[in-house]
Structure 1
Amino acid sequence: MKIEAVSNSYKRWAPVYDSTFGAVTNAGRKRATSHVTERGGEVLEVGVGTGLALPLYGPGVQVTGIDFSPEMLAKARKRVAEDGLAQVAELRQMDARELDFPEARFDFVAAMHVLSVVPEPERVMREISRVLKPGGQALIVNHFAADRGVRGFIERAAAPLESLLGWHSDFPISRVLGAAGLVEVERDSLPPMSMMTWLVLEKQG
């Protein structure tokens, strides 16, 4: 998907995102923020969107959020200001394919429902690996394509609508598993109806 299509799609979705996609993806958001809060440290949230996850990070966590969409970021900044979210260090407009951070900067990188949206997800995963500290973890929450069955058929049929939907319905998990230095340590299914996947990848030292 081209970056212009992503930008236009999320410009359309920004006003209603929280009550539509945001509601459907709540389980993964809670799983990721709880994982970070239990351990503490600095987390980069790639594709922070409207900031739905930001209030869920607890004490001992410092959050940096990035997003390509100015419309989404405007809503996230408003949320931070209105809710007084002291755990949020910074929100920046940025292309996830070229993260403007030094190597080994973060304890965690969370990418929730973003990898099937961005162009060149393999390149994004390489950047995620680069900015993670040794022993740090990439926390992935995403919908991945079913290999077979009715769901797989529906996903393949919806694939030509990706520019309208704003995400790849037939996105294979293999596209996030090949980044050098990242090893899968955990995988689980998430609601609704096990359509979402929780994935933890650890940076080897």
Structure 2
Amino acid sequence: MEQVYGEIASAYEVLFPALHRYEERVERFLSAVVTPGARVLDVGCGPGLHTRGLDASIDVVGTDLSEEMLALARAARPGGTWYRHSYHQPFPSEWGRFHVALAIGCLDFCDDLPRVLKHLADALEPGGTLLFTVLERRPGLDGHEVPTQRIQTAGPEVTLHLYSFEETARAVTEAGLLPRTYTHAPGWVQLTEQRTLWFGWWEVERR
């Protein structure tokens, strides 16, 4: 994934205007839960679109696999802290814990959702809130019927992982997270086929 996102980093905002495709769900979430002095973890941050506009009092830590994306995030919010890190690995304890976390449009490549959600839960303060998305598997919904999809990019082929509502709910519970809200809504557009892929949008809280 580093190669794929590194290659599209310079054109990412043109190809994927996040604030429009997500119908302002991320902004509404952040405005409701982020308070002055909060610590926010932005997982799979890309160029930092979701957190660059947060108040300067907010401590933003972002992670991505692409150094090109991280360079854009640093330029957009120099006061943030940006690391190359895979969500398949635990978040380092020296980063501390967070009041709020985002994992938007990045768990599409997650092959072990229970493990990754446990890493995210461990990074949160008790009572901390996470908004995450997964590609949701649903019978009868075009492009969403199978657990995995192989997608040809301009570079290497990648595998998308789709989880059913029941699988995600079980992974949330096993990670020690409490569901607060859920909706099934558009995610991103598969450009080669001009087909919208749908997310399960989950807002959860660490118990």
**Fold shared by both chains (TM-score > 0.5):** yes
More strand by share: 2
Which deviates more, 38-47 or 49-58? 38-47
More helix by share: 1
In structure 2, what residue type is equivalent to 1:108?
V
Distance 1:195 1:110 in 2: 18
In structure 2, which of residues 153, 160, 170 is the aligned counterpart of residue 168 of structure 1?
160
In structure 2, which of residues 41, 44, 52 is the aligned counterpart of residue 44 of structure 1?
41
Query: Which SS does the other structure have where 1:96 is aligned?
Result: coil
**1:144·1:197 contact (CA, 8 Å) conserved in 2?**
yes
Give 5+ residue unaligned stretches, structure 2: 188-195
User: Who is 2:190 aligned against?
Assistant: none
TM-score when scaled to structure 2?
Answer: 0.75
**1:162·1:168 contact (CA, 8 Å) conserved in 2?**
yes
In structure 1, which of residues 179, 183, 189 is the aligned counterpart of residue 178 of structure 2?
183
**1:102·1:131 contact (CA, 8 Å) conserved in 2?**
no
In structure 1, what residue type is equivalent to 2:162?
D
Distance 1:73 1:163 in 2: 24
Aligned-pair distance for 1:157? Answer: 7.3
Aligned-pair distance for 1:191? Answer: 4.8
User: Who is 1:97 aligned against?
Assistant: 88
In structure 2, what residue type is equivalent to 1:155?
H
In structure 2, what residue type is equivalent to 1:195?
W
Q: How many residues are aligned here?
A: 190
Show CA shifts across 1:116-169 (max 9, x none): 123433222111111111111121134423x222x2x32347944236375626
In structure 2, which of residues 65, 69, 77 is the aligned counterpart of residue 80 of structure 1?
77
User: Who is 1:3 aligned against?
Assistant: none
In structure 2, which of residues 78, 99, 116 is the aligned counterpart of residue 107 of structure 1?
99
In structure 2, which of residues 105, 122, 126 is the aligned counterpart of residue 130 of structure 1?
122
In structure 2, what residue type is equivalent to 1:93?
R
RMSD over aligned Cα atoms: 3.0
Aligned-pair distance for 1:13? Answer: 2.7
Q: Which has the higher contact order (CA 8 A, sep 6+)?
A: 1
**2:109·2:161 contact (CA, 8 Å) conserved in 1?**
no
Go from structure 1 to structure 2 and tell me whether the alpha carbon gap of 1:128 and 1:116 turns closer, same or farther (over 3 Å shift): same
In structure 2, what residue type is equivalent to 1:202?
E
**2:108·2:160 contact (CA, 8 Å) conserved in 1?**
yes
Give 5+ residue unaligned stretches, structure 1: 1-5
In structure 1, what residue type is equivalent to 2:144?
E
Query: Which SS does the other structure have where 1:18 is aligned?
Result: helix
In structure 2, what residue type is equivalent to 1:136?
G
